[in-house]
Amino acid sequence: MPVFAPTRSLSSLVRFDSAPSPHVAKALHPAGATFRISAVDLDAIAAGLAASARAMPLDQHEPTRRYTRVLATPSYDAWVIAWSPSAELDVHDHAGSTAAVHVVEGELVERRTDLVTGRSLGLRTVRAGETIRVAPTIAHGVANCGPGDALSVHVYSPPLTGMTFYEQTATGLEAISVRSNSAVMR
């Protein structure tokens, strides 16, 4: 699968509204090291990539979403996803990865559930310019309920290896399917 290869350095594509942690340069260019990127740095990477997200080719297609993985390092990967109106991704986890999701345009509605307790954590609307974090112990569903398209940047650390999808039952969440690394990146 093609990975976005910027003609400029990655650091010229990533902008920071505030000073990143001292580890962010290493996070952007990990030089083969494998480590979990902090949530703060994931937020900064997602927000920085948002500046060029509209220009990235989206070569993977589903009926209501287009997406592509734009960066892949041993410590994190990043995806850009375009959501058509009524697009929805059912409740899922990120196979132990922490995620930062930055909405570039439009808005997305997120439904969260704590995987440890099975308790619903409610709904929230994420608007353009906002970033949310998804801990490894959270399952969430995402939908574009708006009249127009939405665009978002998703950064995962460690890199996304799969997703388990869930449905709500009388006794809590029940796993119904698993997408492995190869299915996620097809």
Which residues, at least 6 apart from 170, have a Cβ–Cβ distance to it below 8 Å?
none
pLDDT at 106: 98
pLDDT at 181: 66
Q: Provide the 10 A C-beta neighbour count for residue 77.
A: 22
- Dist CA 153 CA 175 (whole Å): 26
Residue ranges of domains in the chain, CATH in brackets: 10-184 (2.60.120.10)
Are the C-beta atoms of 161 and 180 separated by less than 8 Å? yes
**What is the layout of strands, in order, in the sheet containing 107-114?**
120-127, 107-114, 138-143, 88-92, 162-169, 172-180
- Backbone dihedral region of 129: left (phi > 0), alpha (psi from -120 to 50 degrees) or beta? left
pLDDT at 119: 87
pLDDT, averaged in runs of 10, over the chain (186 residues): 36 44 50 77 96 92 93 96 96 97 98 92 96 97 96 97 92 89 54
Question: Which residues face 120 on adjacent strands?
Answer: 113
Q: Which residues contact 168 (CB under 8 A, 6 or more apart)?
A: 91, 113, 174
Burial class (CB in 10 A: 0-12, 13-18, 19+), 123: exposed
CA distance 150 to 145: 9
